[in-house]
Amino acid sequence: MTIAGENTEKSILIAAREVFIAKGFEGARMQEIADHAGINKALLHYYFRSKEKLFEAVFSEVASNLFPAMKQMLEADLQFKEKITMFIRIYLKALEENPFIPAFILNTLNTNPDSFLKYIKKAGLNPKLLQKQIDDEVARGIIRAIKAEHLMVNIIAMCIFPFAARPIVQNIFDMNNDEYQTYLESRQTEIVDFVLKSITV
Amino acid sequence: MTIAGENTEKSILIAAREVFIAKGFEGARMQEIADHAGINKALLHYYFRSKEKLFEAVFSEVASNLFPAMKQMLEADLQFKEKITMFIRIYLKALEENPFIPAFILNTLNTNPDSFLKYIKKAGLNPKLLQKQIDDEVARGIIRAIKAEHLMVNIIAMCIFPFAARPIVQNIFDMNNDEYQTYLESRQTEIVDFVLKSITV
DNA sequence: ATATGATTTAACCATGTGGTCAAATGTAAT
DNA sequence: ATTACATTTGACCACATGGTTAAATCATAT
C-alpha cells in the first residue's frame, strides 16, 4: 500500500468512527462516511469491501481500548483503596476523552450481543484477582465483604451513566452545559468517596 | 374507530415496540413490523401515517413509564432510608419486566438527545425535594452530606447497568444465563446495602 | 517512453425501503 | 337492499442504499 493509500484508509476510519458513533450501524450511510472523509464512495468498498467490515474495523478499535484500564486495575500491585481510586480516575479520564463511546458500545451490544465476546476473551481479564484482594482486605478488617461482580459493576455503572444518559440527567437536574461539565468534573471525587465509604469498615 | 380498528392499532403498537426495541429506529423495517403484527404493511401508514410517527407513539409510551417511580420516590412521605430502599426495589422490578428498555432509551438518546425533553418536563420531577430531605437527614446526623444529583445518578446507574450492558457483564464474569439471573436477583440487596452503607454516618 | 500495478473516479446496478393508491371488502344505519 | 363510511388489500412507486465496474489517473520500476 502506498502512502496515499494509507492516508485514504485512515481518513475513512476516522470518518467512519464519527458517523457510526453518531448514527449507529444501521443509521450510518456510506455516502455520508465518504463525504466526511472527503473521498469517493467507491473507495469505501475498495479499502474495506463492505459496510459491515468497515464497521467491524471501527468497532474493533473502540472495543480493544475498553479493557486496558480494567486489566491494569485488576493486576496492579497497589493497596486496594489506591487501586479503586486509580481505576476510577483512569476510567473517567478515558470517558471524558471519548464521551460517546458508552452509548456506541451499548447500542451495538443491543443489536448484536455477541459483538464483544472475542474482545473480552482477548483482554484476558481475571476478576478473581480482585475477589482475592477483596477477601484479603476483609480478612484484615479493612473493608466489608462484597463480591467483585457487584463492586466492579457498581463502579463502572457510576462512571459511565452520566455520559451515556447525559441528556436525561442534564434535564432532570436542569443543568446547562457548563453546569454539566462541572458536574462531570466532580464525579471522580464523588464516586471514589461513595465507593470507599460504602466498603470501608 | 371500530373495534377491529382498535385491535389492529394495538397489534401494530405491540409489534412496533418489539421491533423498535430490538432493532432501533433505523434498523427496524416496516415490513417486519407488519409481519410481527400479522397485518398488511399499508395499514401501518393508514393508522400511523409514517415510520417516524409510529416510532414516536412507541417511544412516547415507553418514556412516559419511566418517571412515575422516580416521582413517587421524590414525593413519598417516607423515612429517607425507606424511600431509597423503595425506589431501588420498584425501579429494579420495572427493569426486570422490561429489561431492554434502558438500551432502547439510551440508543434513542444518542441519536436524538432532545427526544426526552418533553417527557421530563411533563413528569414534573422535583429533585429539590430529595435534596431537602437529604439536608434534613444530615442535620439530624443520620446520613452524611451528599448532593441529590450524585446520589440519584449513582442509584439509577447501578440499577440500569447490568441490564443495559448484560452481554459484557455476563461475559467478563463468565456467568451462564441462570447465574446471571441469580446475579440480577441479588442486585436489589447489594445496591441497597451499597448505598445505605455509603451515606450512613 | 513503456509497462505494470495501485488508486481513484463517475457512472451505473439490483434491491430494499417507506410510502401511495385505487379497488375490494367490511360494517352499520336506513 | 342500498348507501355511506371505515378498514383492508395488493399492486405499484420514487427514491435511497450498499455495492459494482470499467475507465481514468497515479506511482514506480525498467
Q: What is the pLDDT of residues A105-130, one digit of tens each?
A: 999 998 888 888 888 888 888 889 89
CA A34 – C1' D29 distance (Å)? 32
Q: Do A107 and B107 touch (CB under 8 A)?
A: yes
Once rounded to an integer, what is the mean pLDDT over residues A181-190? 97
Q: How far apart are CA A25 and CA A44, in angstroms?
A: 15
Q: Cα–Cα distance between B172 and A8 in angstroms, integer?
A: 36
Q: Which domains does chain B have, with CATH numbers?
A: 3-59 (1.10.10.60), 65-199 (1.10.357.10)
Q: What mean pLDDT is reported for chain A? A: 93
CA neighbor of B151 nearest in space, from A175, A194, A102: A194
Quote the minimal CA–CA distance from A8 to chain B in Å. Answer: 27
Q: pLDDT, tens digit, for every residue of B81-115?
A: 999 999 999 999 999 999 999 999 999 998 888 88
| Cα–Cα nearest to A195, from A131, A132, A151, A159 | A151
B-chain CB neighbours of A122 within 8 Å are none
Phi, psi (deg, nearest 5) at residue B3 = -60, -45
Q: Is the Cβ pair A111, B23 closer than 8 Å?
A: yes
CB of A183 within 8 Å of any CB in chain B? yes
**Distance, Å, A42 CA → D19 C1':** 8
Length of chain B: 201
- Which residue's C-alpha cell is 428498555? B101
Look-up of cell digits 412496533: B16
- B106 touching chain A per CB within 8 A: yes
Chain A residues with CB-CB distance to B153 below 8 A: 158, 161-162, 169
- Is there a contact between A109 and B125 if contact means CB atoms under 8 Å apart? no
Q: Report pLDDT for B49.
A: 94
- By the CB < 8 Å criterion, does B179 face chain A? no
Query: What is the rounded distance in angstroms from the CA atom of residue A42 to the CA atom of residue B48?
Result: 37
In chain A, the percentage of residues whose pLDDT exceeds 90 is 77
Question: What is the rounded average pLDDT of the residues A159-181?
Answer: 95
Quote the CA–CA distance of B142 and A193 in Å, as a whole number: 17
CB–CB of B154 and A150 under 8 A? no
Q: What are phi and psi of A38, to 5 degrees?
A: 70, 35
The share of chain B scoring above pLDDT 90, in percent, equals: 77
Query: Which of A24, A154, A169 is the closest to B153 by Cβ?
Result: A169
Per-residue burial over A107-131, b = 16 or more CB atoms within 10 Å of its CB, e = otherwise = bbbbbeeebbeebbeebebebeebb
Cα dihedral B174, B179, B185, B186 sign: negative
Q: What is the pLDDT along chain B (201 residues), one digit of tens a residue?
A: 788 888 999 999 999 999 999 999 999 999 999 999 999 999 999 999 999 999 999 999 999 888 887 888 888 888 899 999 999 999 999 999 999 999 999 999 988 888 888 888 888 888 898 999 999 999 999 999 999 999 999 999 999 999 999 999 999 999 999 999 999 999 999 999 999 999 998
- Tell me if chain A has a CB within 8 Å of the CB of B52: no
Cα A151 to Cα B190: distance, rounded to the nearest angstrom: 9
The closest nt to B33, taking CA to C1', is: C18
Q: Which residues of A touch B194 (CB under 8 A)?
A: 146, 150, 154, 198
Question: Would you state the pLDDT for residue A78?
Answer: 87
ipTM computed for the complex: 0.91
